[in-house]
Structure 1
């Protein structure tokens, strides 16, 4: 420890290591290119004076890495680990160390971005395809997605899917009373906003009367009950309803899968496949559907296509999955999924295979049967005779005493009510644990014999996981090499800059990541007693307080587990506020045409009608159109959603004016916080006009993207909206605090990352990071403007934290597209900037504060070299079809081919510019044929204005 402290005091601060361009000479060189003498002068010009905050951030001074980790150790020590037998949708599991260290804790996996550039994402796409295959096999349904956010919200998505797909029957949605309480709460909250009826009934007794649109069953139920669903499903279908089953994947190794029982949809969580409890999340949910429903499937879907040489390749298929592209025509607002956790779960199945999974299930089931038989022998009433892993016991008046007795032995049981206790076994349950549980009841173990076996009608007979990938990698050596092989196919932040506009791909420091897998954080059940979670709750409250200070709002909830869910939470708060004042008619949401696509989708899900506000020629909001639409809708105006800085990468100088105009008409202002990396320490949305915002901790606050999740999207609000912030789904009583995620603290497991980031940076460091991000973006813009014109600029010709490079004129002259440039950058070893958003035919670049001048210059040189190749096309040196641009990216196989017949040399193809030959990244496949991967199922998305009448928002 003495050595560590010495190193810490002698080395540079964490701020100096987080910010890439910190050397004075580098800063001066970048400022000179932009035309400013000081960084403060640049910031003073770029950021409108009337939104600048009056004082520095009132945060504690920055800690060193050693100090921050010591503080995290103190917080972790305030949590109490226990044997978690609470169940209710969350189970302890063993994350194989080879998976924990080489995926969950490996930057090659956790720093990757969503695989929108599939040629450099083949490894994670294969892992996600394994996840889909695993889900399809276990559920007995032919099509599965590549993960959703959590089980409760996945059920809500299934309910909405049933309502879209079953338009002939617009009746109520029926939920089995044995569904998870948090699931019932989430569905009811979504239903209230969208105006459809939900009824909860004991479906073991049959269906209720009335028209039914869809039915949701739970297998096993929260009580542990397992019964043959085939009769209820058949009866529902006879009455014209669709059926969803929320199913436990581990149980499905023993129980007849939903698809074989006739269900249309299966949903659930893959948490118990090696993903830690994480105090409630992040956990990968899943959804699988029957054929015919694939176009309505929310989330991402990986499909198999082929590249330019005919080599099989993976890509995201059926782009209707990317619902935010469809804006208010969206059928879901899902954007971020849980890719990293889905990959962990898929590798767990790869490692254990069908026999291993079945053995784990049989062991958990066997322990549950022993518990049930022993408790029955002790004279207690076991409420269900057919169950998988959860035993429910009647103990009149003694539940609290029994739960307390078990806790004394280090075991958490579920107190259902004063008279009933639930016990859930899992992969970690042992014979000794069973004995301790029985002792808490005053019982001793007896043999289960044939008692409490699953009924024959529900026993699974079909095979699953027969693909070789689930039957090959049994040794750690094999799995380690498989994981390495897949990661080598990808291009993540551990190899190169990822200059994605609007996505803020910046350093996820190792010290920030270190605590998430500590048992004192990772092994805590979300429904553990508060006496065991003091450290977690202190960390969360501290982080919420810091985010409140940073944003200038009065309250923050970290419950939403994605940015899109934070949007929905904020809009539901606005809706609740208006309704509490008797303004039920206020349902119009104004959204600028340039807004993030999830904005419109979230507004629709919040029960609002979207009215689009036009964009002026300079990229700002068209004021004439804004005021006309405020006037036309003033009595029904609910809110406006604006992104600040705008999605065009500019600090609009009129933001206060826009906010004031909406407030004057009785509306609220939602400020999308996706671009907060350009504001922290300089301006606070809660002070310049915002009533509510969501933040993206997976952008500004360093939670890694993980190949498409996890994300965290906290919602921050002014005091008047506080009563309408998300409540706890597990205890919700249908009040104004509509819950947004299954667990009270959402994806709590990754919050230590953002907590550490803020503590390591301090207020001054966070402000410096923002300023450095502005400098980097303006340096890129100034350096490339002569080659690729910057589409929009603000005061002084400056941009905010990102810039849009306009290729449309070059495309018109040469045929070279923005996509060609994106693919050609792969040959230089770069992930492409954001393609065709928010303006088609452009690239949006965000260098972030983490990249050093050398890496930024490498990107700039690559872009200039690519412009040279575009000029070669313009000059007729080769056609666009036979150019290195259109043929990019170039694989090693293409480069060494004996039949090279292209109009440019091999060296230009694979070692363009100053590409380092020893460190060259070769993509595993060439350019992928998108249409082949979709089997011609491609979404052609009309412009936003086409959807202003969103009466058919849930139509496909």
Structure 2
């Protein structure tokens, strides 16, 4: 049992200051109390946390001075301060559009998904038997996407609409039969931020981008084309002939579509599109100054092997029941490395789930009502303007009007005075986009803004006119004629009671951090404190449009600037970009900075990226995205970079060497003694050092990438800095750089950023990426302060060394550093046990489910191993439970080794065990049911039941089904 951190001495012996200090956040974030820390230090053979650091971290890279973050704040203090900062944001009514719209998130979804740790603390569903709930929600998202886009295959979401466009271009290049062309066409009515991101990606790949009227797409020799539907200025246009003409010339056509318009409009798939994508943001997700938002992405079945990101598929478990899992996992970046389709290693699962629940809650009829109301109000606004002889750019629209104005400055001034934002980047015109939050009063206010006072228009009268005269603003030929969302899941849960129970039924199938520790190596599943999460849903952060005038976002600026300063102090870098909205995007942006730096020096021929064999799989995938050649550097038997091999390859490729990508502490979980020498060797040959930020949780307050000698790193804010994983996303991957790389950080076409070159393109749709989740990291750092951040690192390393020490006699710990220490994670080698018993790492992983735990990282970075990272947030009691489980499993393996248990008739081979197993009247196994379900007494106190048995991955890939099966298929089983 964990001992409290709070003293039991009487309050009379404690000063008021001491009592106030006992309310600090540090002791709430860090799991072990003082007594537990002392016990664990004794167990690992260290006299103090500092002694453990001295034994573990090379002295030459220890920080000479403490962090300069400041003192920790209590939860109350930090929330009050951030609330005051948030109050600096001005929340105008936003009609800017450009793919971002205000929404009404149903409260039943707000409270029970977005604000529920059962959903936001879950990990990526690599262990599907304990993730069936979120897998079902994502499958619903895929089904929704398939229905609305009219294509056969959909992904589990991408990062945002603009990066999805870049992925569509890459897919087009892979599958197009026009192999000789390196030209990609983009219609001139595509959103500007989308074009910006596509141009950046095209530059890296060496593609030419031609921008012109959609009607001219087929006049160019292209491998692919990108069209928008409806266009960025609102026009609803039949793309059928344009698509056919491009395809006739062997080009692939991708269409960026507005998800709400697809409820009423004919699907792009029906128009002939090969790829359809867009943002699902307006299905209930706040604008949040740019994100996080889930992009949907669909394509034809024949292109499934080139689909970026993840796909959820339907398979079956060992009892023959339908079961969900990630399909085609060989496409995953950590497996395919530089041969991967993209470097995307995450999705926007939490946001995709919200969008899918939004569709489930409203159903097809509810969505039609919402979409029809938006369109109706747009018709009324258009009719009123036409009555006053105001010219509209287009004769068709869904929700967006481009209004020609004589005195734009006066119109914009009236809008500002009324707290209204219009789109302002159009020549001689303003853009107005309506959404589900728009009211009659909003339309009246828009008349006042666009026409001035005394216009005499009445919404009621105009509504009657539209009814009488009819609407032609969406061509009859483009109106949807087929039914959407016909699956039972979208037609069953429209009352709050039913929706609440549906959400809860899915949540109960998932193991998340609110149940037990998730000990995944390199994923840092630590506490996502409630106080950190609360500001995410404040309207001061959630209701800001990413392209609102910057003077309306001073609260965001204050927070981002302060957070950036803290992160620069922590990393030892000189400049920071918040734009990358995932770790993979951070890698990409960092490598772009390196490439542009070399080009600025006349050394653009440098195109070799050295990557140790132990590196994260996204590293080589990111390198190929900037057109770098990957050369693998060997590691020695201790898991360290082989310096002789590094020197040899650096010398051999000196003229071409662009960079090395290295993780520190290493992916093998040790502080390499030669890390500075590694940096020096690369620098001596003209290369730059990219340090992967995945293991930053073992650096904060102890060392830093800048001090070690690297030039650029991304920071996984969803790992080290407490943004939750959300079941597989959101993520946030800002990059820090040394001063010489600062001019090459991303910029943005719509909102120009300071401190970077104007010509730099964007890597994400929004200027500051997924800005609305930055308050989480801000709150974490503010509440921890300099002292707490350092202690978090020390205790993370203590917890890892404690687990390794306790398990070392039962499982070999594969790699150790100085003084036989590990860093914040350790690798258990199961290969000798597998050879002796036939029990696999998969068996151990699934058996851990029976003990109530999520499995550690399996077979990475070494096949046949488990990588464990307990994090600083786990108490000694929880660590001891996990240790008990792993020792219990080792004893079970011994029974298979000795022949006491049959090689297949044993609880390891049959794990995980479900209630269906335990309640089966035909129990015919040689071991006891109680042992199967309750292998140790502690499990009975808080039993988590996997909802399905072990899933057949091979069957799922051979019979790929990525849409919702009928309810009968479950009932039949």
The yes-or-no answer on 1:804 pairing with 2:827 is yes
Q: Deviations over 1:20-63 (max 9, x none)?
A: 0122x211211111111111111111001111111000112111
The yes-or-no answer on 1:14 pairing with 2:14 is no
Q: Deviations over 1:274-311 (max 9, x none)?
A: 00001000000011001201111111111111111111
Please, which of 683, 688, 698 is the counterpart of residue 668 of structure 1?
Answer: 688
Give the Cα separation in 1 of the matches to 2:939 and 2:840.
26
Match of 1:953 in 2: none
Q: Deviations over 1:327-376 (max 9, x none)?
A: 11011000121000000000000000001111111111111111111111
Match of 2:801 in 1: 778
Give the Cα separation in 2 of the matches to 1:380 and 1:320.
56
Please, which of 602, 605, 617 is the counterpart of residue 622 of structure 2?
Answer: 602
Tell me, what secondary structure is at the counterpart of 2:844?
A: helix
Give the Cα separation in 2 of the matches to 1:753 and 1:170.
48
Match of 1:423 in 2: 432
Give the Cα separation in 2 of the matches to 1:918 and 1:853.
18
Please, which of 897, 901, 907 is the counterpart of residue 878 of structure 1?
Answer: 901
Contact 1:931 1:937 in 2 (8 A): no
Tell me, what secondary structure is at the counterpart of 2:789?
A: helix
Q: Deviations over 1:859-902 (max 9, x none)?
A: 00100000000000011111221110010000011012111111
Match of 1:692 in 2: 712
Moved more, 738-747 or 701-710: 738-747
Runs of at least 5 residues in structure 1 that lack an aligned partner in the other structure? 939-956
Match of 2:446 in 1: 437
Match of 1:179 in 2: 190
Please, which of 855, 860, 874 is the counterpart of residue 851 of structure 1?
Answer: 874
Contact 1:599 1:641 in 2 (8 A): yes
| Residues 171-570 of structure 1 aligned to structure 2 (within 5 Å) | 171=181, 172-203=183-214, 205-207=215-217, 209-396=219-406, 398-417=407-426, 419-442=428-451, 443=455, 444-445=457-458, 446=462, 447-448=465-466, 449-570=469-590
Contact 1:649 1:799 in 2 (8 A): yes
Contact 1:141 1:289 in 2 (8 A): yes
Moved more, 791-800 or 894-903: 894-903
Q: Deviations over 1:397-419 (max 9, x none)?
A: x2232122122222211112351
Please, which of 36, 41, 45 is the counterpart of residue 26 of structure 1?
Answer: 36
Residue 451 of structure 1 deviates from its aligned partner by: 4.6
Residue 492 of structure 1 deviates from its aligned partner by: 0.2
Q: Deviations over 1:142-191 (max 9, x none)?
A: 11001000000001000000000114433211011000000001010111
Give the Cα separation in 2 of the matches to 1:769 and 1:323.
30
Tell me, what secondary structure is at the counterpart of 2:276?
A: strand
The yes-or-no answer on 1:144 pairing with 2:167 is no
Residue 936 of structure 1 deviates from its aligned partner by: 6.2
Give the Cα separation in 1 of the matches to 2:960 and 2:391.
54
Match of 2:48 in 1: 38
Aligned residues: 931
Give the Cα separation in 2 of the matches to 1:729 and 1:489.
44
Residue 7 of structure 1 deviates from its aligned partner by: 12
Give the Cα separation in 2 of the matches to 1:784 and 1:167.
55
| Residues 859-874 of structure 1 aligned to structure 2 (within 5 Å) | 859-874=882-897
In structure 2, the CA distance between the partners of 1:306 and 1:908, relative to structure 1 (3 Å rule), is same
Give the Cα separation in 1 of the matches to 2:766 and 2:861.
33
Residue 265 of structure 1 deviates from its aligned partner by: 0.5
Residue 249 of structure 1 deviates from its aligned partner by: 1.1
Tell me, what secondary structure is at the counterpart of 1:240?
A: coil
Contact 1:400 1:415 in 2 (8 A): no
Contact 2:218 2:242 in 1 (8 A): no
Give the Cα separation in 1 of the matches to 2:957 and 2:758.
43
Contact 1:145 1:297 in 2 (8 A): yes
Match of 1:63 in 2: 73
Tell me, what secondary structure is at the counterpart of 1:305?
A: strand
Residue 589 of structure 1 deviates from its aligned partner by: 0.4
Please, which of 91, 105, 111 is the counterpart of residue 81 of structure 1?
Answer: 91
Tell me, what secondary structure is at the counterpart of 1:173?
A: strand
Match of 1:954 in 2: none
Give the Cα separation in 2 of the matches to 1:711 and 1:286.
17
Tell me, what secondary structure is at the counterpart of 1:515?
A: helix
The yes-or-no answer on 1:579 pairing with 2:599 is yes
Q: Deviations over 1:117-151 (max 9, x none)?
A: 00000000000000000000000011100100000
Runs of at least 5 residues in structure 2 that lack an aligned partner in the other structure? 1-15, 962-973
Match of 1:841 in 2: 864
Residue 527 of structure 1 deviates from its aligned partner by: 0.8
The yes-or-no answer on 1:904 pairing with 2:927 is yes
Contact 1:732 1:739 in 2 (8 A): no
Tell me, what secondary structure is at the counterpart of 2:63?
A: coil
Q: Deviations over 1:237-264 (max 9, x none)?
A: 1111111110111100111101101101
Contact 2:580 2:763 in 1 (8 A): yes
Residue 322 of structure 1 deviates from its aligned partner by: 1.7
Contact 1:8 1:64 in 2 (8 A): no
Match of 1:741 in 2: 764
Tell me, what secondary structure is at the counterpart of 1:244?
A: strand
In structure 2, the CA distance between the partners of 1:686 and 1:133, relative to structure 1 (3 Å rule), is same
- Relative to the length of structure 2, the TM-score reads 0.94
Give the Cα separation in 1 of the matches to 2:177 and 2:631.
25
The yes-or-no answer on 1:649 pairing with 2:649 is no
Contact 2:825 2:869 in 1 (8 A): yes
Contact 1:324 1:333 in 2 (8 A): no
The yes-or-no answer on 1:615 pairing with 2:635 is yes
Contact 1:349 1:357 in 2 (8 A): yes
Give the Cα separation in 2 of the matches to 1:511 and 1:210.
55
Give the Cα separation in 2 of the matches to 1:11 and 1:546.
24
Moved more, 775-784 or 160-169: 160-169
Tell me, what secondary structure is at the counterpart of 2:217?
A: coil
Give the Cα separation in 2 of the matches to 1:320 and 1:309.
25
Contact 2:574 2:736 in 1 (8 A): yes
Tell me, what secondary structure is at the counterpart of 2:689?
A: strand
Tell me, what secondary structure is at the counterpart of 2:949?
A: coil
Tell me, what secondary structure is at the counterpart of 2:424?
A: strand
Match of 2:938 in 1: 915
Match of 2:781 in 1: 758
Residue 937 of structure 1 deviates from its aligned partner by: 7.2
Moved more, 364-373 or 223-232: 364-373
In structure 2, the CA distance between the partners of 1:451 and 1:893, relative to structure 1 (3 Å rule), is closer
Tell me, what secondary structure is at the counterpart of 1:243?
A: strand
In structure 2, the CA distance between the partners of 1:231 and 1:742, relative to structure 1 (3 Å rule), is same
Give the Cα separation in 2 of the matches to 1:333 and 1:435.
47
